[in-house]
A and B are shown apart, each in its own frame.
Chain A
Amino acid sequence: MTNRNGLRKHTIIALVEDRPGVLNRIASKWRQRGFNIESLAVGHSEKQGLSRMTFVVDASTDAEQVVKQVDKLIDVVDIRDISEEDIVSRELALIKVRADRSNRSQILEIVDIFHAEIVDVAPDSIIIEATGDEDKIDSLVQLLEDFEVIELVRTGRVAMLCGPAVSHPPEHEEPERYQGFEPPYTAK
């Protein structure tokens, strides 16, 4: 949980069906309430046909209600606000910096300190790849601003719970009594 502009953020992870429109449905729930999604990362999960998302939402608003609304979506298998839990969170940034013979070594020094990498070198620019939490990326970018940052791209946060815990209930724990039950609506 980082601080920016004095606001706390909510880190939310979700396991969703890998289908067209899922992102639209989820984003729609946040939009309806006027919540801004600060970052969003989506990719395949360890399960076939399911994607895992991490999104960071401005937490000056109460996110609990929207998390419940999103959980109701048919395509959302599981969603969880992990802001208060022990998590590992990372993001990746590519930073293109103006660099020539005169200042390249100074930049390399900073890159070294941050355990970042140079992934492209041109006569008057370099591209730096950095991984870490947002604070680390922020500090790196701040230091590099002395050299003129030409372009910056960040993936947004990806997060995972610490320890063996997983971000969705194991499927075998589905209570048996809920299965094969006649829908009450039609059972009048």
Chain B
Amino acid sequence: MEMTGAQMVMEGLLREGVEHIFGLPGGANLPLYDAIPQYHPKIRHYLVKHEQAAAHAADAYARVTGKAGVCFGTSGPGATNLVTGIANAWMDSVPLVCITGAVIKALLGRDGFQEADITGITIPITKHNYLVMDAEEIPQVIREAFHVATTGRPGPVLVDIPRDVFQQKAEFYWPEKVELRGYRPRLYPDPDEVAKAAELIEQSERPVLISGHGIHIAGAYHEVKELAEKANLPVITTLLGISGFPGTHPLYMGMPGMHGMYWNNIAISESDLVIGAGMRFDDRVTGRLKDFAPNAKIIHIEIDPAEVGKNVRPAATLQGDARICLQQLNKLVKSRERPDWFSHLDELKRAHPSIAIRDTDEVLPQYVIRSIYEATGGDCYIVTGVGQHQMWAAQYFWYDKPNSFVTSGGLGTMGFEVPAAMGVQVAKPGEVVWSICGDGGFMMTLQELATIAEYGWPIKFAIINNETLGMVRQWQDLFYKNNIVATPLKNPDFVKLAEAFGILGLRAERKEEVGPVIDQAMNHAGPVLVDFRVKHDENCYPMVPPGAALHETIDLPAAPREEVKVR
């Protein structure tokens, strides 16, 4: 069948099962937009206000569906606006397919209007990218792009297509199989290593299991739970691993690392075995690397060969897909009681109640997060930006719903929270989506409120408004002699702002207003923005100071532990 290049792209997306696209048109990708109506409503396109939002929305969509997210941008500034979103997906191993328009072939490399060498720019932040010079190649390229993006360690792929290639007519041929000589992700671990790992677990007196984003990616929820229960292992989840293991499970310990639970950081330091499953021993997790888990042997379950041995030297390496690796391991692992270790951990938790909330007159940000937990019972998706509010959302919420915590981890992209919530809501139309926003980050992408109002997505925004770039202020406070520079924020009136966009705006200034306002937001059928006016200078604890080791964690000043009530 003869088609234009643009039709081939849309046909290819359809065959790859794409249902939703986020994007913004421009001169170079106009032919692609010309082909969209033909594929509506099988494929729906959502018009964003800035391409960065398209990338973040597609990224979040991918995180919660497991399918590749798709975004469109035009050449030049359209493409460069995608860069932050692509880098974010790259750092967090999210499958993203970005299709950008390029100037016509004759203008490539000649500084044509709105030209940017986007394939050159994105080499370091994509798993692979393509510049398509002939429409005949498009079906093959689309097929490969999805294959590369979604298999192995997932990641973003960019396809750049010049305007005249979109317009070129050629025969559409859909390849059934993808053969890439240089790309064969290994999925099955070495059986000898699996046996060694099972033995190490059996011998271990003081093990910890740290599970990461790989559990979500591989869909290994059942397997990781089986391993923990079978071998009796305390489970710690990295920031991106949160909601990979039930948050209210008796074996669950919370997050480790820079703002992790005090007991976790001590447990890791004292452990004799660390099982890292689908995580990469990131610097925010390990603290000072040379003092990370000094007494422990390490089992690393990891799909990416380049991550093995990068930060730690494992005693056993299960290189492969996390789900398959865990299935193999679960066959060999033996059950074992570890009463001393668990009573020691319980004692640590009692002595250092890392996440107790102080009784204050002011609204504490932690109190807001916990109130949202109590109001929703955890049955919602939580999206966050980056900073203090993100850490509190990781600490003060118990995620029992698999894959319900969506956050920017590796790149730490402020402003992720607004467009990411769009992606989650599109992917999960019947579900409650709470976007926990920092007031700083919210200001970076708030233009998307217009998009949200247009499509009527009922997202609930909770701005944790402390009128400051909170995490940076915390560092100025703790490590720069409280020299507060460029962190106080002069914010707009967020309630009026919401109303200007046609969104319900609410505010809570006092503690007793928090609960009712959350209820009001939940009962409203459309999008809502709540401005929570919280204490300005609350610091986020526990904290491992930069460059310090995990055992040097600064704990929250001791406070009585409260019970959490869920309605």
Contact = CB atoms under 8 A, between A and B. Distances in A.
Interface of A: 16-17, 20-21, 24-25, 28, 32, 50, 64-65, 68-69, 71-78, 171, 174-175, 177-178, 181, 183-188
B148 interface: yes
A69 B182 contact: no
Interface stretch (B72-80, B122-130, B163-171, B195-203): B122-130
Nearest to A175: B188
B188 A77 contact: no
Contacts of B150: 183, 185-186
Given A184-B219, A188-B219, A17 B310 contact: no
Given A77-B181, A183-B151, 17 more contacts: A16-B182, A20-B131, A21-B119, A21-B131, A25-B123, A65-B310, A69-B306, A71-B306, A74-B148, A74-B180, A75-B128, A76-B182, A178-B187, A183-B150, A185-B95, A185-B219, A188-B66
Contacts of A171: 181
Given A178-B188, A183-B151, A71 B124 contact: no
Contacts of A68: 305-306
B15 to A, nearest CB: 14
A32 B182 contact: no
B127 A184 contact: no
Nearest to A28: B123
Given A24-B123, A69-B306, A184-B219, A178 B183 contact: no
Nearest to A187: B219
B182 A174 contact: no
Interface residues of B, number: 35
A24 B43 CA distance: 35
Closest 4 A/B residue pairs (Cβ): A68-B306, A188-B219, A183-B151, A77-B182
Given A72-B304, A72-B306, A184 B182 contact: no
Contacts of B304: 72
14 contacts: A17-B182, A21-B123, A50-B181, A69-B306, A74-B128, A75-B128, A75-B182, A181-B187, A184-B151, A184-B187, A185-B217, A185-B219, A187-B219, A188-B66
Given A32-B124, A184-B324, A186-B66, A65 B218 contact: no
Contacts of A32: 124
Given A68-B306, A69-B306, A76-B182, A184 B120 contact: no
Contacts of A20: 131
B181 A17 contact: yes
A157 to B, nearest CB: 23
B151 A178 contact: no
Nearest to B119: A21
A175 B188 CA distance: 10
B214 to A, nearest CB: 10
Contacts of B217: 184-185
Contacts of B131: 20-21
Of A21, A65, A74, A184, which is in contact with the most chain B CB atoms at under 10 Å from its CB? Answer: A184
A28 B186 contact: no
A174 B183 CA distance: 11
A21 B304 CA distance: 23
Nearest to A47: B181
Interface in B128-161: 128, 131, 147-148, 150-151, 154
B460 interface: no
Contacts of B321: 184
B389 interface: no
A82 B183 CA distance: 22
A187 to B, nearest CB: 7
A50 B183 CA distance: 14
Contacts of B123: 21, 24-25, 28
B473 interface: no
A48 to B, nearest CB: 11
Contacts of A21: 119, 123, 131
B186 A178 contact: yes
A185 B154 contact: yes
Contacts of B127: 74
Nearest to A65: B310
A73 B128 CA distance: 7
A174 B187 CA distance: 13
A186 B16 CA distance: 11
Given A28-B123, A177-B188, A178-B188, A74 B183 contact: yes
Given A65-B306, A185-B217, A28 B182 contact: no
Nearest to A17: B182
Contacts of B324: 184
A28 B321 CA distance: 27
Given A184-B321, A185-B154, A178 B184 contact: yes
A17 B182 CA distance: 8
Contact of A71 (B66, B188, B218, B305): B305
A68 B302 CA distance: 14
B323 interface: yes
